[in-house]
Amino acid sequence: MTFRIHWKRESWMLAIIASMFLYASAAWQAAPDSMPVHWNLAGKVDRYGGRIEGLLLLPLIALGLHLLLLVLPKLDPSKANHPSFDETYGFVRLLTLLFLVAIYAVTQLAAFGFNVDVGLLVGLAVGGLFILLGRIMGKLRPNGFVGIRTPWTLSSHQSWKKTHRIGGWLFLFQGALMIVLGCTKSTIALWAFLITMLVSSVALVVYSYIIWRSDPHKASPFNATPVAPKDLEDLP
Q: Is the pLDDT of residue 222 over 80?
A: no
**Could you give the percent of the chain with pLDDT greater than 70?**
87
Closest residue by Cα to residue 215 from 154, 130, 140: 154
**Within 13 Å of residue 52, how many CA atoms lie on the same side as its CB?**
0
Q: Tens digit of pLDDT for each residue in 139-179? A: 988 887 889 999 999 889 999 999 999 999 999 999 999 99
Q: Tens digit of pLDDT for each residue in 46-63? A: 889 899 999 999 999 999
Q: Which residues contact 91 (CB under 8 A, 6 or more apart)?
A: 136
Q: Is the pLDDT of residue 236 over 60?
A: no
Residue 125, judged by CB atoms within 10 A of its CB (0-12, 13-18, 19+), counts as buried
Report the pLDDT value the prediction gives residue 63, as an integer from 0 to 100.
Answer: 97
Helices (H), the chain: 7-27, 51, 57-75, 86-111, 118-136, 157-182, 187-214
Q: Tens digit of pLDDT for each residue in 180-214? A: 887 877 777 778 888 999 999 999 999 999 999 99
Task: Tell whether pTM > 0.75.
Answer: yes
Backbone dihedral region for residue 148 (phi beyond 0: left; psi -120 to 50: alpha; all else: beta): beta
Closest residue by Cα to residue 98 from 72, 65, 51: 65
Q: How far apart are the first and last CA of the chain?
A: 27
Report the pLDDT value the prediction gives residue 193, as an integer from 0 to 100.
Answer: 86
Q: How far apart are CA 179 and CA 196, in angstroms?
A: 14
Under the banding of pLDDT at 50, 70 and 90, the label for residue 26 is very high
Q: Say how many C-beta atoms besides its own lie within 10 A of residue 38's C-beta.
A: 11
- The whole-chain average pLDDT of the chain stands at 86
Closest residue by Cα to residue 216 from 165, 175, 156, 154: 156
Q: Which residues contact 103 (CB under 8 A, 6 or more apart)?
A: 58, 122, 125
Q: Is the pLDDT of residue 23 over 70?
A: yes
Closest residue by Cα to residue 135 from 168, 165, 161: 168
